Structure 1
């Protein structure tokens, strides 16, 4: 994720499993822990974005990484994935068109990803530039939900341990997941 410096922090749960080498007290129930639930899908999602929503939300729920608060962020991620899928399909169709005419695959990829300026210089095509920008955007969103290997250490699943607040559903009893190892606050 951009803006973060230094090595990725090791989650408290992994510190606990490795014997807490720093011997500092670990609070395994720290942070905001919203209820794990799948928010309703926005109506504006495109076809490919809706497919991604249906694919990813059950997985995020199973890992405890999604709540009703995440609807907008997840919609942005799904839209980016949907557009990337559409751009990749358009790029591949153009490459296939060139290879069907007998062009070598590598040459076809180069022809689709580059064009010539009026002066005769090679320049990346607009399609390829947009495709690269969407790949970077999707990669950025992957980090927000812990969907890449390096981002998994930064996200913490929700165990929904909250103080009782008026108007909020009652919190489940502690003891689910890694919360059962949490040190009582003194």
Structure 2
């Protein structure tokens, strides 16, 4: 049995990837729609998003939108609401996890790049097989 604890498989382009970004779902908040519009071109360009992934991307955008909405609410109230701070922290954590799934963080983007340029390193004596 192989354990992959801490090791994520490389993200690679999908043969059924979308070639055009769909419109942001109408039920998303303004902040979440803005995030959708910000990230979708890069996801389409890298060829890693399929129709089946759109729900997860929507969840990522919803989490990022919630972070921004809570931040605006905290700033406008001028008070620290610990319940909202905890909710914001949870939304940030969820967004980070989903971002890693779709290559939206530096480390996960590097995994996408490594998958595309995986050369045979047979002449490298330090290469682990």
Task: Give runs of aligned pairs for residues 33-182 of structure 1, distance below 5 A.
Answer: 33-37=15-19, 38-94=21-77, 97=78, 112=80, 125-155=82-112
* Corresponding pairs, count: 115
Corresponding residue of 2:5: 5
Change (3 A) 1:73 1:91: same
Alignment partner of 2:106: what SS?
A: coil
1:59 Cα deviation (Å)?
1.6
In structure 2, do the counterparts of structure 1 residues 74 and 46 end up closer, same or farther at CA, with 3 Å as the change threshold?
Answer: same
CA distance in 2, matches of 1:8, 1:72: 21
Distance 1:31 1:59, change over 3 A: closer
More helix by share: 2
The offset of 1:151, in angstroms, is: 2.2
What are the ranges of 5 or more consecutive residues in structure 1 without an aligned counterpart? 13-29, 99-111, 114-124, 157-176, 182-186
- Structure 2 unaligned runs (5+)? 120-129
- In structure 2, do the counterparts of structure 1 residues 91 and 149 end up closer, same or farther at CA, with 3 Å as the change threshold? same
Larger Rg: 1
Residues 47 and 6 of structure 1, relative CA distance in 2, 3 Å threshold: closer
Alpha-carbon deviation of 1:83? 1.0
TM-score, scaled relative to structure 1: 0.51
Q: In the TM superposition, what is the alpha-carbon distance from 1:91 to its structure 2 partner?
A: 1.8
Q: Is the 8 A contact 2:100 2:108 kept in 1?
A: yes
CA 1:142 to 1:69, structure 2 compared with 1: closer, same or farther past 3 Å? same
TM-superposed deviation, 1:8: 4.8
Q: Deviations over 1:54-83 (max 9, x none)?
A: 111112112222232322111111111111
Aligned-pair RMSD on alpha carbons?
3.2
CA distance in 2, matches of 1:72, 1:62: 19
